[in-house]
Structure 1
């Protein structure tokens, strides 16, 4: 198999999201040895928050990440956090790209940004490419490797990697629930259901801290992973560390399960599928949680709560993006109809609360 199948393709830079190529080129050549020629700059079309560009020199291919244009939340879109977590994880966790440059000098392109080496390999979305001719065992192996990589990340000794000051694990669960409920209320727009009952349930049923602490990715999905070019059943690199943290790993697992759509899920859930989790051979959410528990030694018996939290958090994230469009802070038409996804996710959280199931 080659990386051409399922390749992470780019597009021409979208209108209004251009970079000052000459300024980027000068900054990189002043800090990165061996660069020559003029880079070709294209844009990755996926992603609803931070913007990602391919920076292709004749002899080196790199990726640049920057915040979106327009007004930004005070604590959001911190490029240094993304850069630092990958830089510091690399010695113990090879499934991150190699970082090469960071700057907070906003005179270059108007915002801080960082650059990393591009990892060659397939990036897949809703389905397994038919050209791969995979069996269910092949698909299941990808699912297991994906689970195992999360388990490895969550059990790293983050203190030995110099990440002790990266977050505040004490009280992490309560801060997440309070924080996402607050963000929901700040981002709410006319016409959207309030979902006060979901917020109250999350507050009232909050479990005690598990006592486990680890590095949390925050957006752990197959479509945020570059697969191994030689064996796409393996995970080569994890991308999009925008909302990484140090905290209770079960909260991160709940986030991941909220994305993990199964083949037997109702149609509204399949409208939100972004990764091949429903492919024949993939583990169910229950099997995902159980394997994770076996690999980490963590108690996943109360994972239903974390799953509902993950659904609600996702609803809030999408509402924040939709609100930027409603308030005229972005003209990206993709964001105009996100209210439908917000409503579907809020209703799903309510349904899962009532059924008590994964």
Structure 2
């Protein structure tokens, strides 16, 4: 595994018709069309939500994003929204990739899609790439970079970005609790917990605060692109759920992915990044730096922690249900039910300690 995120052969059942894509781009985005032949397509290995492909065109590289096969949750895979966010943020937020084209004609490749520039760098997934050595001091800097880039988004001027109409911040927290509780119930399979007590606890603890910022809604390690030695973030990916809302909710969702070295073994077993390494900041240290970077007062941190964990459980459960029902055969999703159970346990742990 090298530091640069590598595209691979396309997974079975997730192919794109290169001829049809080339023909569409020839009519709508001539800059993407090769002088001869067709666009070359490979697939990036990560991602359990939208699918991501590498397009190679006469030596240039682009990225195509499309919804997953078999998804019934259209709001979580809104290509037009993601393209619109990038179109507005690119130029005012240094980490937003440049969008190139958006296609709503599902007959072209079987789904709506958009294409953006490729940011060539390192994406950190569960473990560090084999050719990257990260000292404890380097791990600390990585954490600080990750947090500071999120804080920069949360303090970006909404009007300068032209995003005043990209959400309904009033009542945002209430809608999130109601919506994710409903999504979990609708996606639940018999082998995962009901989580009724967790949902009731969240509904009873909604804070009476009004904060509005541009939020990413899925900001985590494998959605940012670092330079090759992990010293600087060069871009942020996966903007399909971006909106206007409470930035602390966004930060709480990010911390749901943050597994540290002293966490219970079942939680460490499902970590999605190398956040347990020496030098990585703890969740409490990340919270303190976030407060300093944004000036936010956070009086009920356990609420935001539990929300982030439960929302992640609901997301994984939606994907797991697709696997259980045979709507996807991707074996990565087979263990997601186990992850849902671990996250529910962590929710209960935070509630007991709050």
TM-score with structure 2 length normalisation? 0.95
1:90-120: CA deviation from partner (whole Å, max 9, x where unpaired): 1111112111110111121121100011111
Partner of 2:309: 311
Alignment of 1:202-213 (within 5 A): 202-209=202-209, 211-213=210-212
What is the rounded CA distance, in whole Å, between the counterparts of 2:100 and 2:74 in structure 1? 26
Q: Which runs of 5+ in 2 are unaligned?
A: none
What is the rounded CA distance, in whole Å, between the counterparts of 1:246 and 1:66 in structure 2? 23
CA RMSD of aligned residues (A): 1.6
2:41 paired with 1:28:
no
1:258-304: CA deviation from partner (whole Å, max 9, x where unpaired): 11111111111111211222221111111111111111111123222
Residue 134 and residue 345 in structure 1: after superposition, are their counterparts in 2 closer, same or farther (change >3 A)? closer
What is the rounded CA distance, in whole Å, between the counterparts of 1:250 and 1:34 in structure 2? 39
Partner of 1:330: 328
Match of 1:270 among 268, 271, 281: 268
Partner of 1:149: 149
SS in 1 for 2:95: coil
Q: Single out whichever of 337-346 and 122-131 deviates more from structure 2.
A: 122-131
2:92 paired with 1:92:
yes
What is the rounded CA distance, in whole Å, between the counterparts of 1:321 and 1:254 in structure 2? 21
What is the rounded CA distance, in whole Å, between the counterparts of 2:185 and 2:106 in structure 1? 31
Alignment of 1:41-120 (within 5 A): 41-120=41-120
What is the rounded CA distance, in whole Å, between the counterparts of 2:167 and 2:208 in structure 1? 19
What is the rounded CA distance, in whole Å, between the counterparts of 1:50 and 1:157 in structure 2? 28
TM-score with structure 1 length normalisation? 0.94
The aligned length equals 351
What is the rounded CA distance, in whole Å, between the counterparts of 1:216 and 1:318 in structure 2? 21
What is the rounded CA distance, in whole Å, between the counterparts of 1:105 and 1:94 in structure 2? 30
Residue 154 and residue 102 in structure 1: after superposition, are their counterparts in 2 closer, same or farther (change >3 A)? same
What is the rounded CA distance, in whole Å, between the counterparts of 1:260 and 1:249 in structure 2? 17
Residue 260 and residue 71 in structure 1: after superposition, are their counterparts in 2 closer, same or farther (change >3 A)? closer
Alignment of 1:5-16 (within 5 A): 5-16=2-13
Residue 5 and residue 337 in structure 1: after superposition, are their counterparts in 2 closer, same or farther (change >3 A)? closer
Q: Single out whichever of 120-129 and 163-172 deviates more from structure 2.
A: 120-129
Q: Are 2:146 and 2:233, in contact at CA under 8 Å, matched by a contact in 1? A: yes
Q: Are 2:8 and 2:43, in contact at CA under 8 Å, matched by a contact in 1? A: yes
Q: Which runs of 5+ in 1 are unaligned?
A: none
What is the rounded CA distance, in whole Å, between the counterparts of 1:70 and 1:199 in structure 2? 27
